């Protein structure tokens, strides 16, 4: 009997108190109703409530302006590399040591990742993610010398707000980087890249260049099926290799 005392029943008040104590011990301390409730239904204003005032344009939060002047971005790849590493340059989330891009201009492929690996120092993608990408490139018949490697963010960071970073101007910085590197194609790895540039998973365009959007390197490392999906996408996207 739900753990109640089997001795002769006491008063109704005692029984009610025992029942309440049992439910309290079970962690139930609220009243419940059998009548169904529309939890997602918009709350109806009471007759006493005043009319709802429409939000004016002045009250609408404005989109944040980019934290830099796009016209001041470097106009050569060499100048961009120095600008990227200069501590005086205000880059989004540049809170630690900045990791440079690597490769030469007009490469067959540009690999764009969201951010450096946690252990990167002088060399971008120097850890497990880099080895995975190098293996994929080798299977495609591409030497690392034929590829330009870059990251959208200069330093590793945790859970960046990609739409917010795009509004702050990171997409413009990244597009300028791509335009200056002049690759033939861009492999954009990471959901953040897709969010910043409005890319869907698969083939598209980025900075007016053929692009392939796929999952982030750390996700590819953890999910063999995603690696297989990337491989099939690359074979379809780069049929001549």
pTM: 0.72
- Among 23, 24, 237, 12, smallest CA distance to 136 is for 237
| Nearby residues of 214 by Cβ (< 8 Å), 6 or more positions away | 187, 188, 189, 201, 220, 226, 229, 230, 233
Q: What local confidence, expressed as pLDDT, does residue 199 receive?
A: 87
Q: Please state, in angstroms and rounded to a whole number, the distance separating the CA atoms of residues 66 and 168.
A: 4
The 8 Å CB, 24+ separation contacts for 118-122 are 118/156, 120/156, 121/97
Give CA–CA dist 111/213, Å, rounded: 10
Lowest-pLDDT choice from 50-54, 71-75, 136-140: 50-54
Mean of the per-residue pLDDT values for the chain? 82
18 falls in which pLDDT band (50, 70, 90)?
low
Give per-residue pLDDT as tens, 26-70: 555 545 544 555 545 554 544 554 444 444 434 444 444 555 678
pLDDT in tens, 143-179: 988 999 999 999 999 999 999 999 889 999 999 999 9
The residue written with tokens 């001795």 in the block is: 7
Contacts of 141 (CB under 8 A, 6+ apart): 241
User: How confident is the model over 185-241, as pLDDT tens digits?
Assistant: 999 999 988 889 988 889 999 999 999 999 999 999 999 999 999 999 999 998 665
Question: What are the residues whose beta carbons fall under 8 Å from the beta carbon of 128, sequence distance 6 or more?
Answer: 117, 221
Query: Could you tell me the domains of the chain?
Result: 71-237 (3.40.470.10)
231, 220 Cβ separation under 8 angstroms: no
């Amino acid at each position: 009997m739900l753990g109640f005392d089997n001795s002769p029943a006491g008063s109704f008040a005692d029984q009610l108190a025992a029942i309440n104590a049992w439910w309290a011990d079970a962690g139930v301390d609220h009243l419940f109703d059998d009548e169904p409730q529309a939890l997602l239904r918009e709350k109806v204003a009471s007759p006493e409530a005043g009319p709802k005032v429409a939000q004016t344009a002045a009250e609408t939060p404005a989109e944040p302006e980019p934290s830099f002047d796009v016209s001041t971005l470097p106009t050569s790849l060499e100048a961009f590399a120095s600008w990227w590493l200069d501590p005086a340059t205000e880059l989004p989330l540049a809170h630690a040591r900045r990791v440079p891009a690597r490769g030469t201009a007009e490469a067959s492929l540009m690999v764009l990742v969201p951010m450096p690996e946690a252990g990167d120092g002088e060399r971008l993608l120097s850890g497990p993610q880099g080895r995975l990408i190098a293996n994929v490139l080798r299977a495609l018949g591409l030497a690392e010398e034929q590829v330009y490697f870059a990251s959208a963010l200069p330093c590793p960071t945790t859970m960046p707000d990609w739409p917010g970073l795009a509004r702050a101007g990171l997409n413009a910085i990244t597009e300028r980087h791509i335009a200056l590197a002049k690759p033939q194609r861009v492999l954009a790895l990471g959901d953040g890249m897709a969010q910043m540039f409005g890319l869907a998973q698969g083939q598209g365009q980025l900075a007016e260049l053929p692009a392939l959007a796929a999952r982030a390197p750390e996700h590819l490392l953890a999910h063999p099926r995603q690696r297989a999906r990337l491989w099939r996408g690359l074979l379809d996207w780069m049929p001549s290799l």
